[in-house]
Amino acid sequence: PVPVRAADSGRSPSLRPYVSPVTGKAVSVLQRAPPGGPRPSSRGHRVRRRARADEARRAAARANDLVLRDLQRAVPLRRAPLRGRLQALRSVLGVRRFDLGVVCVDNERMRRVNRRYRRKDVPTDVLAFPFHENLKAGEIPQPEFPDDYNLGDIFLGVEYIFQQCKEDEDYYDILTVTATHGLCHLLGFTHSTEAEWQKMYQKEKQVLEELSRRVGTRLQPLSRGLF
């Protein structure tokens, strides 16, 4: 899918392989093979496979990392409140056991990323690069290997978002709403058609209503009025 402004997503056909600035690894599992290549069917193989499955279950039971990087100086950014909102979002979506990278960038860096991966030579508010490709909308990944407990990366164009904020809007509320949109893209939601948009809008609305109850504010989906 080729999303529009408020839903720019690295899920669109990329010109180049995407390498995460957070982990240094390619995030597309379609480009990754299971370790070890072809395996014979044997008792030893079954034991090793059970051990990997046990390890994966243990990884699923713990809350994994949220890596928040601020690579810009265009606007002041307090990472503590943003991190708190992102952790709350992960909890509402039921994905605390997955790693997540969130990269905050200025207009110039966002423009370069957008041009490199989407052939759009303009800055934007959010780009999403999912680790797990081809998820159905709202599907929670079920990894077999511990290293695959990773949702992917979200780029937040914090300078662009700041410039688009209205006087009566809270900047961190808008960052939260934008991050919610990006997270939904990591979980398979798109909005290339009105039907897809409606499904994504309802999910964002549900998530933000729950988050609003937790943080004491009122948040509206980014995709409101897209169609």
pLDDT 10s digits, 79-107: 999 999 999 999 999 999 999 999 999 99
| pLDDT of residue 33 exceeding 50 | no
| Nearby residues of 107 by Cβ (< 8 Å), 6 or more positions away | 74, 123, 157, 159, 160, 163
Residue 56: pLDDT over 80: no
Q: How far apart are CA 37 and CA 32, in angstroms?
A: 11
What is the spatial distance between Cα 111 and Cα 107, in angstroms, rounded to a whole number? 6
Distance separating alpha carbons of residues 157 and 114, to the nearest angstrom = 11
| Tokens (6 digits) for 205 | 């609305």
In which band, very low, low, confident or very high, does the pLDDT at 3 lie, cut at 50, 70 and 90?
A: very low
Helix axes 194-215 and 171-186, enclosed angle (nearest 10): 130
The pTM assigned to this predicted structure is 0.78
Grouping H, G, I as helix, E, B as strand and the rest as coil, residue 126 is strand
Count of other CB atoms within 10 angstroms of residue 223: 25
Going by C-alpha positions, the residue among 97, 119, 105 that lies closest to residue 2 is 119
Per-residue pLDDT of 113-166, as tens digits, reads: 999 999 999 999 999 999 998 999 999 999 999 999 999 999 999 999 999 999
Residue 25 has pLDDT above 70, yes or no: no
DSSP 147: G
State how far the Cα of 154 lies from the Cα of 99, in Å rounded to an integer: 12
Q: Go through the domains of the chain in sequence order and give each one's CATH number.
A: 5-29+66-215 (3.40.390.30)
